[in-house]
Amino acid sequence: MPGVKISIIGAGSASFSLRLVGDLCKTKGLSGSLVSLMDIDKNRLNAVHTLAKKYAEELGSDLRFETTMNLEDSIKDASFVVNTALVGGHSYFEKVRQISEKYGYYRGIDAQEFNMVSDYYTISNFNQIKFMFDVAKLIEKLSPKAWLLQAANPVFELTTLISRVVPINMVGICHGHHGVDYIIEKMGLEKQKVDWQVAGVNHGIWLTRFKYEGKDAHHLIDELLEKELKNFKPTNPFDDQISLVAKDMYEFYGRMPIGDTVRNGSWKYHYNLETKKKWFGEPWGGVDSELGWKWYQERQAERAIITQQVAKYFKEKPKAKLLSKETQQAIISTAKDDLKKEYTKEVYELLDPEKKSGEQHILLANALLNDEKVDLVLNILNKGTIPGIADDVAVEIPVYADKNGIHPYKIDPDIPERIKKMYLMPRILRMEWALEAFLTGDRRVLEEFLIRDPRTRSYEQVVKVIDEILALPENEEMRKHYSKK
Amino acid sequence: MPGVKISIIGAGSASFSLRLVGDLCKTKGLSGSLVSLMDIDKNRLNAVHTLAKKYAEELGSDLRFETTMNLEDSIKDASFVVNTALVGGHSYFEKVRQISEKYGYYRGIDAQEFNMVSDYYTISNFNQIKFMFDVAKLIEKLSPKAWLLQAANPVFELTTLISRVVPINMVGICHGHHGVDYIIEKMGLEKQKVDWQVAGVNHGIWLTRFKYEGKDAHHLIDELLEKELKNFKPTNPFDDQISLVAKDMYEFYGRMPIGDTVRNGSWKYHYNLETKKKWFGEPWGGVDSELGWKWYQERQAERAIITQQVAKYFKEKPKAKLLSKETQQAIISTAKDDLKKEYTKEVYELLDPEKKSGEQHILLANALLNDEKVDLVLNILNKGTIPGIADDVAVEIPVYADKNGIHPYKIDPDIPERIKKMYLMPRILRMEWALEAFLTGDRRVLEEFLIRDPRTRSYEQVVKVIDEILALPENEEMRKHYSKK
């Protein structure tokens, strides 16, 4: 096999990049490929490179790697470009969050604009959207036949924007639908006997079909919720697939919200920390709270340290084995117990030749390249798949992929009208407003966006928060962009 | 001519009913018709009856009248049913407004739900929507070939609801598009040389085409706004077609908002009385303010007194003439000067055989019955007329009517995307939520509706305001309805 070139933009994100590398190592059809690791953070890039080579070696796979800090070099000749970059990193979002909360925009994922938690800022992350847009246009110029696999957020906005405007092959990829696997495991069902579908938009997908042995099995969801929520106590801030929020949304909308959809309910669940705790459970009140996000940030920082330690270790001892006792002792001696466990588990899974990561990128690449048909859940333009949603809006839907491309399955049964009109459409409108702002550079659109935000009390509040965000030194380009009108 | 039966439900509204009667008197094709005046307020009904007969007599027309307090009697055998009833009257809305403001729902028309001003309550006026729905079903049962002309608000919600669910001929009618005539007059243009279109949804229509002598004439709007707004001073609270709000919306959306559309902008113009005054002008801050609405209520009360005086006078002196000096002196001696003028002007216009009221109901009836083609602006299901809006949503669009029915004109040019995505779609969603609540009786929909309202600060606020409104004695049926789930 000659292999192809696969570019990972933002490859410094170790756990994500290594999951892709692991999948690649275990995919015969992509043997011989060149993985181009691109990042602007040299340290992180080198660490990932060292580890990627190590995994490839221990898995005995025929992969080549290159590292580059130059975007064009990485994209040139690529057949697949996985874009997972986070421009400005989490520290930028933290700055925006602080400014926003100062002006009364308390964190809550429903808003998905100024001051949202996580990395899903739709109107204040101009630099992120601009970068993703530029990458897409660069692909059009340098590798017009390549596929762009958009992994970085905001997936919904970016998939819609790029698919509408840039004539390349592209798809948005998220793993939120694995919430269904979690539910099935909790029920103790045989996976093969469950027939399910999810549909919606990114971070807003719903379990539209749930059958066991050919029969509707929603009663099993009722039972599961009943059982699990008697003494609900999340194990971590992300543990919300079976939660009081999920149950409340399930009861109101008639279908189970899957993955980040649960975080993305209305302000009913987010007004303040007390409300969040009530709905998402103690002690954190979910990940989209002061406490939950702190937990996540600290954990991320610790994991970054482990990554650097591990990379340094293998740089010095290239012949050491990933799972040897010595290695384990040497590299994670300082980490907390649960992080040690998590890390070791990940290494085991990465080295297990039978186990793939659950990320869809490599499965998709293999299907497109080698015609190995595979079922996935991807973000592509609707084009009639979900009735009542415009053709040119990116939806997250079940599809199969093969050498002829990506083919949506019929959504059967359809998404209930209440979900479309009360959950999906409001979210779709906010996406449209974000793109309207981005494409026109009209500051008034940002203003109107916030005027419709339930956290806004006055026009002055809107003006002030936008002014202060635009005044951040890293937002010089954004400032210019929004001075056009 | 044998004539037909025309039923007016809620005929106690004197000025509206008399405008229709005036139009009928001046429409040869409807000569010989029977006008069935129906209302549950006997005094108001009798007053209107007396005056209607008087006008018909002085205009020398061949109309017959009947009065009834029985809905079924009025609908039976009718060819047209004009529904203009306001269940509970303005006093009910005043109660709801007071409760709502107590809980932080300050008045502002954008919300169009709890605590809106005017008579356009979409979720707290269950009795109104229920009554209109029942009238439609009664027409289906008693006079299945009749046309329902829906004049009462909420026109948008009711036209969509009834057109979707009840298989009768129906159309929603409003006169908001006369704002265009006002603009043309202000410009001093020859009406015949202006080619214009408006399109949108009820109370949300935009001047999509404005040509003078075949050429785009938006520069005349720019000039008019520039000139008129140098020293903007509204003559009454409704005087907002040329206002700072209209200008701001025009600049942002790229088209001129027409009629109530101006009142129906975002919270930017409505946060508090000071904001309202800034945008809608001193001293009232528009009609959707404490001061503006007080002005309107007082005026309505005074007008009601005049109506009763006039009716009493003609009851006693059946041979007196409407415009004689004695009549004038006798009946409006106690009224304020501007009201006297307004009243006298209305009588003149009603008695002018060449002048019609500007209401569209009788024009439409005549076109449908006698094939006299006429151009109108009506509310009907979209069915593809405005791209990007669902087929089953009622839109307010230019049409022509003839014996074959109502035929939409092509909207050319189309409504700009920004108007669709930032103004129309949010409004359409609120309509959908109101219908979802009404059709399901699910109280949680009312709650979610308010949770998405920018005035809401907590879930408790939502629960309390709904509880108190449901507890009103006149809301017994609503209370039962929303206890279903």
Task: List the single best residue of A279, A418, A420, A433 to mutate versus B (max B Cβ within 10 A).
Answer: A418
Query: What tens digit of pLDDT does each residue of B43-87 get?
Result: 999 999 999 999 999 999 999 999 999 999 999 999 999 999 999
Q: Tokens 């379990």 belong to which residue? A: A207
What residues in B contact A388, CB-CB < 8 Å? 390
A459: nearest Cα among A468, A448, A469, A467: A448
CB B212 within 8 A of CB B220: yes
Determine, for residues A426 and B429 on separate chains, whether the beta-carbon distance falls below 8 Å: yes
- Please report, for residues A26, A258, A338, B46, B458, the alpha-carbon distance to residue A376 in angstroms, rounded to integers and kept in the order given: 18, 15, 31, 71, 39
- A390 touches B at CB < 8 Å: yes
Closest chain A residue to the Cα of B447, Cα to Cα: A268
Checking if the pLDDT of B168 tops 70, the result is yes
Could you tell me which residue, B272 or A340, shows the higher pLDDT? B272
Query: What average pLDDT does the segment B234-258 reach?
Result: 97
- Per-residue pLDDT of B392-424, as tens digits, reads 999 999 999 999 999 999 999 999 999 999 999
Sign, CA torsion B289/B294/B299/B301: positive
Interchain contact, B252 vs A451, CB within 8 Å: no
Question: In terms of Cα–Cα distance, which of A68, A91, A51, A57 is closest to A5?
Answer: A68
Rounded CA separation A445/B230 (Å): 26
Residues in chain B, how many?
A: 485
What pLDDT shows up at residue A466? 94
Q: Which residues contact B296 (CB under 8 A, 6 or more apart)?
A: B237, B238, B287
Q: What percentage of chain B's residues is helix, strand, coil (to nearest 5)?
A: 50, 15, 35
Q: Do the Cβ atoms of B266 and A448 come within 8 Å?
A: yes
Q: What are the pLDDT tens digits along chain A (485 aa)? A: 578 999 999 999 999 999 999 999 999 999 999 999 999 999 999 999 999 999 999 999 999 999 999 999 999 999 999 999 999 988 898 899 899 899 998 888 654 454 455 566 878 889 999 999 999 999 999 999 999 999 999 999 999 999 999 999 999 999 999 999 999 999 999 999 999 999 999 999 999 999 999 999 999 999 999 999 999 999 999 999 999 999 999 999 999 999 999 998 999 999 999 999 999 999 999 999 999 999 999 999 988 888 888 899 999 999 999 888 888 777 766 667 788 888 888 999 999 999 999 999 999 999 999 999 999 999 999 999 999 999 999 999 999 999 999 999 999 999 999 999 999 999 999 999 999 999 999 999 999 999 988 889 999 999 999 999 999 999 999 999 999 76
pLDDT at B110: 56
Chain B neighbors of A446, CB-CB under 8 A? none
Task: Give chain B's end-to-end CA distance (angstroms, integer).
Answer: 54
Q: Would you say residue B20 has pLDDT above 70?
A: yes
Contacts of B457 in chain A (CB under 8 A): 271
**How much is the ipTM here?**
0.94
d(CA A85, CA A151): 8
Q: How many CB atoms lie within 10 A of CB A233?
A: 8
The phi and psi torsions of B70 (rounded to 5 degrees) equal -105, 120
Percent of chain B with pLDDT over 90: 83
pLDDT of residue A343: 84
In the stretch 208-267 of chain A, residues with CB closer than 8 A to chain B read 252, 266-267
Output phi, psi for B268, to 5 deg.
Answer: -45, -35
Under DSSP, is residue A117 helix (H, G, I), strand (E, B) or coil?
A: coil
pLDDT of residue A331: 72
**B17 is written with which tokens?**
């009913």
**Residues in B touching A445 (Cβ below 8 Å):** 418, 422
**Is the Cβ–Cβ distance between A159 and A380 less than 8 Å?**
yes
pLDDT at A118: 56
User: Looking at the predicted structure, is the pLDDT value of residue B178 above 60?
Assistant: yes
**C-alpha span between A303 and A370 (Å, rounded):** 35
Buried b vs exposed e over A402-426: b needs ≥16 C-beta within 10 Å? eeeebebeebeeebeebbbbbbbbb
Average pLDDT, chain B: 93
Alpha helix positions (H), A190-243: 218-228
Contact list, A245 vs chain B (CB under 8 Å): none
The distance of A67 to chain B (nearest Cα, Å) reads 43
Closest chain A C-alpha to B469 CA, distance in angstroms: 20
Task: Name the residue facing A268 among B266, B432, B459 (closest C-beta).
Answer: B459
Rounded alpha-carbon distances, angstroms, from residue B60 to B7, B56, B57, B343, B347: 21, 6, 5, 21, 15
Q: Which of A451, A460, A461 to mutate to test the interface with B (most CBs of B within 10 A)?
A: A451
- Minimum-distance CB partner of A451 among B266, B388, B425: B266
Q: What is the pLDDT of residue B78?
A: 98
Residues 6+ apart with CB under 8 A from A5: A33, A34, A36, A77, A78, A79, A80
Q: What is the pLDDT of residue A289?
A: 93
Place of tokens 């008579």: B119
A426 touches chain B (CB under 8 A): yes
Cis peptide before A283 (omega within 30 of 0): yes
Do B252 and A444 lie within an 8 Å CB cutoff? yes
Let me know: does A35 contact A110? Beta carbons within 8 Å.
no
Query: Which pairs from A14-18 meet CB under 8 Å and 24+ separation?
Result: A14/A44, A14/A47, A14/A48, A14/A51, A14/A303, A14/A304, A14/A307, A15/A303, A15/A307, A15/A346, A16/A84, A16/A151, A16/A359, A17/A48, A17/A52, A17/A84, A18/A48, A18/A51, A18/A52, A18/A55, A18/A350
- Check if A25 contacts B (Cβ < 8 Å): no
B170: left (phi over 0), alpha (psi -120 to 50) or beta: beta
Q: A-B interface: how many C-beta pairs under 8 angstroms?
A: 79
State the DSSP H helix or E strand holding residue B376, giving kind and residue range, or none if neither. Answer: strand B374-381
C-alpha pair distances (Å), A331 with each of A13, A59, A192, A304: 19, 20, 39, 12
Work out the pLDDT band at B485, boundaries 50, 70, 90. Answer: low
Q: A426 pairs with which residues across the strands?
A: none
Q: Does residue B316 surpass a pLDDT of 60?
A: yes
Predicted local confidence at residue B118, as pLDDT: 57
Q: Are B327 and B321 in contact (CB under 8 A)?
A: yes
Indicate whether B334 pLDDT > 70.
Answer: no
Whether B106 has its CB under 8 Å from any CB of chain A: the answer is no
Quick one: angle between helices A337-351 and A14-25, nearest 10?
A: 30
Q: Smallest Cα–Cα separation from B126: which of B402, B445, B416?
A: B445
Reported as a single tens digit per residue, the pLDDT across B80-128 is: 999 999 999 888 988 998 998 999 988 886 544 544 555 678 788 899 9
Q: Which two tokens stand for residue B397?
A: 């669009």
CB contact under 8 A, A429 and B421: yes
A275 Cβ under 8 Å from any chain B Cβ: yes
Q: Which residues of B are catalytic?
A: 175, 260
Look at phi and psi of residue A127 and say left if phi exceeds 0, alpha if psi is from -120 to 50, else beta.
alpha
- Kindly calculate the radius of gyration of chain A based on its CA atoms and give it in whole angstroms: 22
